[in-house]
Copies of this chain bind each other. A is one copy, B any other.
Amino acid sequence: MTTANPNFLKLQNNYLFADIARKVAAFKQAHPDRRVISLGIGDVTRPLTPAVVQALRLAVDDMSVADRFHGYGPEQGYAFLREAIVQNDYVARGVSLSADEVFVSDGAKPDVGNFQELFSQDSIVAVTDPVYPVYVDSNVMAGRAGEQQGQRWDRIVYLPCVKENDFVPDFPSVRPDIIYLCYPNNPTGTVLSRAALQGWVDYARREGCVILYDSAYEAFITDPDVPHSIYELEGAQEVAVEFRSFSKTAGFTGLRCAYTVVPKALKISDGKGGQVSLHAMWNRRQSTKYNGCPYIVQRAAEAVYSPQGRRELQDVIASYQRNAALLRGAAGGMGLDVHGGVNAPYIWVGVPRGLDSWGFFDRLLQQAGLVCTPGAGFGAAGEGYVRLTAFGTPADTEEALRRLRNLY
């Protein structure tokens, strides 16, 4: 009989957000009259902006006539979008990249989930703790995580990000091959300063590691000392891959567009004394197993960089930033320990004494009809915290504040 990949079977059946969805569904069934407000899953609420909608409409028109119809596109993305990305997200910040170092895709989650395929199975993986679960789960499925011991996997190197180290991970005692870093951080909402990130780039260069850098939330950065791209740091193109997304910056969670930068300067060992280019490997992976992001979606993403698109999205981001500031203020005013939310759409809130993170989740749901994300779902070091997101509507955010004030 055909046999399953044993590494898949090591994963628990349920995924964090599925667990939350089940609890929320049960609450709604028991209380059909109460309106639940989600500060949980990080989905946006503002619609696509007019510039993006207009670009989509024009692209749909293209698809409706034979001489402007677009069939299979390049698996790596259309040049018009790759060029716009390089000019606006990199050259404008003093970073020099070529357009063919950018791979457009349908999401940062697929890219982050698939990228580990390029590395040998015995590679040692380091992740921060708490962490976005996809980094860990995709490596469990690939057989790199070893066995589960409590909340941790015995072949994964965990880098705790806790109050004691100001949420800046220390270098590990065991040298990892692959280091996942996400800044502005999901779930803590904290950031790395330029100096701290340069420290990690230098570490990776010294130790021969690859950094997989997820900067999906860079649009929320307000502090000028916080780098938007890892390539702002010296030497990063030799050691780092960067994942970006239009999901949170432009409201594309339902439209699906992202990109991954794989610099040509980034080489790893071929296991036989030579070196290979990760750029060439990712190109081969995408050519074989991916068929490109829809043309109409790439035209929409291009419009994000137009003068009108930029103005409109600044307003959208500013509205989410206002939500974050309000939620930070409310949680702080309740005497809770509050982190993040200044350069990120996430606020990391210490739970009241006597509760754990699922306990606080349950209290917020049952007593206030509010959904948060329990920190323990992001790893052992997430216990004692919950994550709030700032992606609600202004009205929902105000209502959430009112309910929080009533609760305490």
Contacts and interface: CB of A to CB of B under 8 A. Distances in A.
B287 A71 contact: no
A150 to B, nearest CB: 21
Contacts of A297: 294
B256 A2 contact: no
Interface in A240-275: 251, 253-256, 268-271
Contacts of A288: 11, 15, 113, 133-134, 137-138, 141
A84 to B, nearest CB: 19
B63 A44 contact: no
Interface in A1-53: 1-6, 8-9, 11, 13, 15, 18, 41, 43-48, 50, 53
B295 A254 contact: yes
A183 B253 CA distance: 35
Contacts of A119: 2-5
Interface string A197-239: 0000000000011100000000000000000000000000000
A64 interface: yes
Interface residues of A, number: 83
Copies, count: 2
Contacts of A114: 289
A53 B47 contact: no
Best-surrounded residue of A3, A4, A9, A119 (most CB of chain B within 10 A): A4
Interface stretch (A153-161, A165-173, A276-284, A376-384): A276-284
Interface stretch (A94-102, A104-112, A360-368): A104-112
A116 B346 CA distance: 36
Nearest to A204: B2
Contact of A56 (B2, B8, B60, B134): B60
A402 interface: no
A296 interface: yes
Interface in A289-329: 289-297
Best-surrounded residue of A8, A134, A208, A287 (most CB of chain B within 10 A): A8
A396 to B, nearest CB: 11
Contacts of A107: 290-291
27 contacts: A1-B208, A3-B120, A3-B123, A3-B177, A4-B119, A4-B120, A5-B118, A5-B121, A8-B281, A47-B63, A47-B65, A47-B69, A56-B63, A69-B254, A70-B254, A72-B253, A72-B254, A106-B256, A107-B290, A109-B289, A109-B290, A117-B141, A141-B285, A254-B292, A255-B295, A255-B296, A294-B294
Interface of A: 1-6, 8-9, 11, 13, 15, 18, 41, 43-48, 50, 53, 56-57, 60, 63-66, 69-73, 106-107, 109-110, 113-114, 117-123, 133-134, 137-138, 141, 177-178, 208-210, 251, 253-256, 268-271, 276, 278, 280-281, 284-285, 287-297, 393
